[in-house]
Amino acid sequence: MAERKQVAFVGLGAMGWGIAANLAAAAKDGKIASPVLVWNRTTSKSEQHEARYGTRCARALPDVSQADVIITCLPTSTEVADVARELAPAMKSGSLWIDCTSGDPDSTKYISRMLKEAGITMIDCPVSGGPDGAASGQLTAMVGGDTNDVAQSVINIFAKKKIVRCGIVGAGHAVKAMNNCLNAAHLIVAGEALLALKKWGVQPEVALQAINASSGRSLQTEVRIPTQVLTRRFDYGFKLGLMLKDVRIAVDGLAACQEDRRGNSILTAVKKMLEQSVTAQGYDVDYTCVLRTLELEAGCELQGSAVPTAK
Ligand code: NDP
């Protein structure tokens, strides 16, 4: 980057904390201006981030308005729109907004139009890789909208695994929503299969040894179920309510064109299972707890000692 850009980060949650830490490291290396500004609704978290990584805690949201690049990582597009409405009037024309929230494509198009009126370019940049990927900078980014060199160089800092340009503004959010639908579907279907096998007398860790060397394997059978479910940890770091939000975006929004077969849609069944789980267990539990709902229905648990067979 020829001129070092001032970057501000909004939302130090499970994902934002690590992404902002990587930005702070890049600022120390001179890739972007130092310090990186961080704002969080709960100020004590941004104070902790400042103390740990050398970022600068913005106590009030308007304190970040003069940054060249604003990055948001908030629960939903509703919070992004609220922050954008508050910040846009004071922002510099020509600045850039990178939204790492897993947002709603239509809302993103609306926010993008609103920002454009203030001369601000928005791109959607949802990420995949979880809190561990955020901490290591090894995220996959799904980008919607027109990227330029500044956007590319900033996204490179935290999405070292892969950056995919998906299309127009909102396209990144559309792909992310479907990705998470597949994630949840794979988890639920694998949980159903393992519960059926357990009732039939096969222990889950034994079944996984075979499945993970066979064609039924997935990230869920190879990593997520062994590390989070069989161990009874259930703390991957992604809230069940946020997963439901993504699946609703995919099923109610993107798959609406499949109106004629929604009754039979597998993704609709995934959404119903997540809705049932949020009702029973709450928004904030880990998304892997969706298998607790299946276990309660089945009357048995997927306990075991299996270790992950892939990363
Ligand atoms: P968290 O719940 O851990 O963090 C949410 C963040 O948003 C916190 O900083 C919180 O502030 C802030 N926030 C919540 N409500 C408001 C509000 N009304 N106004 C301002 N700030 C608010 O979420 P994650 O970090 O897990 O997720 C963030 C986004 O990333 C979501 O869209 C999620 O779907 C997506 N994502 C999550 C992944 C994961 O594995 N966790 C993986 C990939 C994408 P406060 O500290 O004050 O509560």
What is the model's pLDDT at position 308? 56
Q: Kindly report which listed range (111-120, 242-251, 276-285, 301-310) carries the lowest average pLDDT score.
A: 301-310
290: Cβ contacts below 8 Å, ≥ 6 apart: 184, 187, 188, 191, 240, 243, 273, 274, 277
Ligand 1 pocket residue status of 152, Cβ below 6 Å: no
Q: What is the pLDDT of residues 156-196, one digit of tens each?
A: 999 999 999 999 999 999 999 999 999 999 999 999 999 99
Short-list 136, 97, 125, CA closest to 8: 97
Mean pLDDT of the residues in the chain: 95
Which is the closest atom of ligand 1 to the Cα of 236? Answer: 40
Q: What is the pLDDT of residues 188-229, one digit of tens each?
A: 999 999 999 999 999 999 999 999 999 999 999 999 999 999
| 221: exposed, middle or buried (Cβ count in 10 Å: 0-12, 13-18, 19+) | buried
Q: Which residue stretches of the chain are H helix? A: 16-28, 43-53, 77-87, 105-117, 130-136, 149-158, 171-199, 204-211, 219, 240-248, 266-281, 290-298
Short-list 128, 22, 93, CA closest to 7: 22
The two beta strands, 121-124 and 127-128, are unpaired
What is the model's pLDDT at position 310? 57
Which is the closest atom of ligand 1 to the Cα of 74? Answer: 7
Ligand 1 pocket residue status of 14, Cβ below 6 Å: yes
The two beta strands, 127-128 and 96-99, are unpaired
pTM of the model: 0.96
Report the alpha-carbon distance of residue 270 to residue 153 in Å, rounded. Answer: 37
Which is the closest atom of ligand 1 to the Cα of 11? Answer: 9
Measured in degrees and rounded to the nearest 5, phi and psi for residue 215 equal -80, -10
The two tokens of residue 134 are 């955020």
